[in-house]
Structure 1
Amino acid sequence: MDLHLLRTFVAVARQGSFSHAAAELGYTQSAVSQHIAALESDLGATLLSRRPVAPTTVGERLLEHAGPLLLRLDAARADIVRMTAPPATRLAIGVSPLAMSPSAAAMLAPFDLTVEVLSREDVLAGVATGSFDAGLVDGIAAPTDPLNLADIRPHQTVSVAEQPVAVILPDGHPLSGRAGLRLGDLADSRWIDAPDAGIPLAQLRTMSRSDGFRASLRYTGTDVLGLVALARAGHGLTLLPQSVAGGVPISAPSLVHRVEAIGDVPWLGQA
């Protein structure tokens, strides 16, 4: 399978347009059409419906493989460039919204930095492809367990911080005075789905082994303060590190909010 053709397919599927994909890739529309036809001929399957332009069922399955394949290729190229390039005088750091803990900030203090806040997935991809020298990512896990990060490329991972997690309840909620709450007891409550600014609901379902935690509100973006305000106003519950906004700690299962540093630069060894 020609990876150039695969990149063209991904661009067309994302844009929903042959002409827009051509503009993005710097090709003519005719060349894009030829790429798609060649890939479909190679695989013996129709990958895109034409009116409207959208992936077929087979095309959707190919997209599941295409993203990791192309990212791995970009990561390999970036790894070689990183090994042969002169040392950077300024570190570019990607950070997920809840990852900049006091200990992480202290660890970065000696360095000249550029910091960009992005989703967890974008931080991982940025480190893998060389857009960032290193990254800080967060998530929930059992105490001392590592985060379940996408295996994009070999990289050094160092634990930076762990702290309790807490549920943010509406002001005046009858459970707000509790010393702790069981996560499973909250499964049927109204939740805010904020996969980038908070803890993804899919993780809560996995951790509690429940199919609950259904979203009453979808919140996109990385503004944690906005997420807290919505939870306090009663739009739904959210789970955050306790240091961010207080809340009632989760007593069971045993969970922590964990921050990890990823990358291949010397400061990781100082954690």
Structure 2
Amino acid sequence: MDLALLRTFVAVHRAGSFTRAAALLGLSQPAVTSQIRTLERQLGRPLFHRRARGVTPTAVGDELAHKAAPHLDALLRITESEREAVGGARTLHLAGPPEFLSLRVLPALAPLVGQGHTLRTALQTDAAETLEGLAAGHHDLVVTTARPRGALFNAAALCDEEHVLVAAPYWAALIDPERLREHGTDALEGIPLVEVHESLPLVARYWATVFDALPDAAATVVTPDLRAVLECVRAGAGLAVLPRYLCQDALDRGQVVALLEPAVPPLRTWFLVVRSGSLALAHLARAHARLLSAGAQW
């Protein structure tokens, strides 16, 4: 059986689309369609159900993918090992929210630069857009709080992020901690909100988890970067919900104050996502392992 046909088949099986697989393989969509039809004729069985939006594998297709994919990945791993042995430089393309990439991911990967890696980043806050870019081959690795589904992606839990309700000391002095614990958001009435989006994603999650309520006021300041939110809070613009890793230094310095320490703080899980099979690439596997190791300490 032709390995090129099997490689195309596995790409389609993982991508769920002839068009998406073609982009990943660097082929035209008609060429991918032709190769799949050739393989189906050789096997005498259909491998995919054609749908209005992409394809789904038949039982025969799933069986073939289960048998063939590990061997194709192993061949790719051998090829990559030989390439590394002759000093081939590789570029790692990363994508994710600017704050997490800047403060967590890039510092963890910085030592790889001394091992011949080059890094390129795409700063994206929209999880769906980031995952679509990964699927299309624009990125090699993404970090996101949206766990993807489907055979195309391999997602590993990276770390849990604790959220903290913070304000500058001026505002904190106006809030009765006991009233906040007993009466919830009533104790925060009149204090401006600072957020990353008009929909108040962080505040709404915190309110629902800790206070069993929804925010009833609009944000006074909206800025799409959490680092800018922290600076606004530090300067006295109002209160905000921020990841602890981002604001811990400001808390330690007394520049902002944690208004509440709930017994069970709100958490958000970060996922490290690659395309299925791509960890056969040595430079990507190295970065993936390094981030998982770093994430265990975050």
Question: Taking structure 2 as the reference length, what is the TM-score of the superposition?
Answer: 0.49
Aligned to 1:13: none
CA distance in 2, matches of 1:227, 1:205: 18
1:165 Cα shift? 2.3
State whether structure 2 residue 124 is matched by structure 1 residue 118.
yes
CA distance in 2, matches of 1:78, 1:184: 55
Aligned to 1:268: 288
Bigger radius of gyration, 1 or 2? 2
The verdict on how the C-alpha distance between 1:175 and 1:126 changes in structure 2, with shifts beyond 3 A counting, is farther
1:132-170 per-residue CA deviation (whole Å, 9 max, x = no partner) reads 1111224xxxxxxxxx43547631222333353222213
Q: Structure 1 counterpart of 2:288, which letter?
A: L
1:236-261 per-residue CA deviation (whole Å, 9 max, x = no partner) reads 32111223223416424432354321
Aligned to 1:157: 155
CA distance in 1, matches of 2:193, 2:161: 22
The verdict on how the C-alpha distance between 1:105 and 1:162 changes in structure 2, with shifts beyond 3 A counting, is farther
1:108 Cα shift? 1.9
Aligned to 1:254: 265
Higher helix share: 2
Aligned to 2:241: 239
The verdict on how the C-alpha distance between 1:269 and 1:175 changes in structure 2, with shifts beyond 3 A counting, is farther
1:201-223 per-residue CA deviation (whole Å, 9 max, x = no partner) reads 4433553442226322352433x
Q: Which secondary structure does the structure 2 equivalent of 1:251 belong to?
A: coil
Q: Which secondary structure does the structure 1 equivalent of 2:219 belong to?
A: strand
1:42-74 per-residue CA deviation (whole Å, 9 max, x = no partner) reads xxxxxxxxxxxxxxxxxxxxxxxxxxxxx9856
1:262 Cα shift? 1.1
Q: Identity of paired residues, percent?
A: 15
1:185 Cα shift? 2.2
Q: Which secondary structure does the structure 1 equivalent of 2:139 belong to?
A: coil
Aligned to 1:194: 196
The verdict on how the C-alpha distance between 1:220 and 1:131 changes in structure 2, with shifts beyond 3 A counting, is farther
CA distance in 1, matches of 2:289, 2:224: 31
CA distance in 2, matches of 1:203, 1:260: 18
Q: Structure 2 counterpart of 1:254, which letter?
A: P
Of 194, 210, 213, which residue of structure 1 is paired with 2:213?
Answer: 210
Q: Which moved more, 1:78-87 or 1:105-114?
A: 78-87
Q: Structure 1 counterpart of 2:217, which letter?
A: R
Q: Which secondary structure does the structure 1 equivalent of 2:215 belong to?
A: coil
| Residues 96 and 123 in structure 1, CA contact (< 8 A), matched pair in contact too | no
| Residues 193 and 216 in structure 1, CA contact (< 8 A), matched pair in contact too | yes
CA distance in 2, matches of 1:81, 1:207: 46
Write out aligned runs for 1:31-46 (5 A): none
CA distance in 2, matches of 1:183, 1:261: 38
1:9-61 per-residue CA deviation (whole Å, 9 max, x = no partner) reads xxxxxxxxxxxxxxxxxxxxxxxxxxxxxxxxxxxxxxxxxxxxxxxxxxxxx
Unaligned runs of 5+ in 2: 1-14, 28-71, 81-88, 252-256, 276-283, 293-298
The verdict on how the C-alpha distance between 1:159 and 1:192 changes in structure 2, with shifts beyond 3 A counting, is same
| Residues 104 and 161 in structure 1, CA contact (< 8 A), matched pair in contact too | no
1:182 Cα shift? 5.9
Q: Which secondary structure does the structure 2 equivalent of 1:172 belong to?
A: helix
Question: Taking structure 1 as the reference length, what is the TM-score of the superposition?
Answer: 0.53
